[in-house]
Amino acid sequence: MSETLQTLHYDVVVAGGGLVGASAARALAERGLKVALFERRYCGAQASGVNYGGVRCQGRPEVQLPLAMRARRIWDRLPELIGIDGEFVRSGHLRLARRESDLEPLDAWSAMAENYGLSTTVFRGAEFRERFPWLGEGAVGGSLCMSDGHANPRLVSPAFARAARALGAEVLERTPITSVTHDGVRFQLTAKPETGDELHVSCDWLLNTSGAWANHIAGTFGERAPMHAIYPNMWVTEPLPKFVGHNLGVYGGGVYARQVERGNCVIGGGRGTGDGEYAQPSADTTRAVMREACALLPALRNALLIRTWSGVEGETPDDNPIIGMSRTTPRLVHAFGFSGGGFLLAPGVGEVLADLVTQGETATPIDAFAVDRFATAPVSHAEV
């Protein structure tokens, strides 16, 4: 398709209006580029807006820590960047050990994290019981990172899109991209709004931030990744007297919990169900994980659950995201496959993507997230 007077041209098109895409659009618009963000539904309505809300560096793989630390600094600036605090609370993150053998890896992770400027303290024995009397016998120790916290994803994700629009980015919701090609010079796209005529768009840069659906674009350019859909399972209780002192996780996974200012406890663990397009929570999973949660938090035993939910996220074989330049197509940049851990990272990823577009590189190490690291991995029919 040749460019005509009817073709809209942008410096950058962002494909996907989750927290990664919206934060990238905001950062690029702030740097003076002409940006359009296309979202097939509503910004922040998928995994970015329905996740657990943990803002934690603790427990991440070492390769993620430089990016995580960059992202964490951005969370302190939310009112300045997006006009709201997103209910971000620096509560600390307590990573619990369920058995004595879990304490050694917590010690090792704490020592490693010190090299990146992240401070954690491991508690055990009588000191642990005295410090955290509200925990049950299901935990024998834990590692506390006081710089971590939690926020409300339903507020944060759409706010980044609004901030991008306020800085001059064009944000088009309910406008799926229906085709994309590269003509050797620029990307040529078509998009179909829910109402109105089809749009013809060209751009110099294309950011693939389409979450669990990112293989639609990656595959078009020969870079389909071995990613499958996951459906995190979460629920919330009635308001309870405040008793949970920190955002909680467990070494080895299984359950996570936090309590908001209103007293509701947000709890998650296990998986819901879905078809790759939509998700729903699992009652069986909720019951099973709630029993484990009650062993850790006895005050939950008589709590009423008032809502459960799930979402669709993309998971990679190594649980690390795909972030960086395409290996097949100039000026195509990928950022997807966050494997359930992207909420903290996303604002930092947006800045990294803006670096790649405006500078051609970034000071934040991202080589471990290259799209071609799975080049020899088979792609199964179950992948999205």
* 198-254 pLDDT per residue, tens: 999 999 999 999 999 999 999 999 999 999 999 999 999 999 999 998 999 999 988
What would the DSSP string read from start to end of 284-306? HHHHHHHHHHHHH-GGGTTPPEE
Q: How confident is the model at residue 276 (pLDDT cuts 50, 70, 90)?
A: confident
**DSSP secondary structure letter of residue 173:** -
User: Would the pLDDT of 297 be above 60?
Assistant: yes
Q: Region 178-198: what's the mean pLDDT?
A: 95
User: Would the pLDDT of 48 be above 90?
Assistant: no
Q: What is the pLDDT at residue 6?
A: 74
| Domain residue ranges in the chain | 8-50+154-226+317-369, 93-146+232-310
Across the chain, what does the average pLDDT equal?
94
> What CATH number belongs to 8-50+154-226+317-369?
3.50.50.60
Q: Region 87-116: what's the mean pLDDT?
A: 97
What would the DSSP string read from start to end of 308-366? EEE--EEE-TTS--EEEE-SSSTTEEEEE--TT-HHHHHHHHHHHHHHHHHHS--SS--
Q: How far apart are CA 302 and CA 36, in angstroms?
A: 49
- Record the pTM: 0.94
Q: Looking at domain 93-146+232-310, what is its CATH homologous superfamily? A: D-Amino Acid Oxidase, subunit A, domain 2 (3.30.9.10)
Q: Region 69-75: what's the mean pLDDT?
A: 98
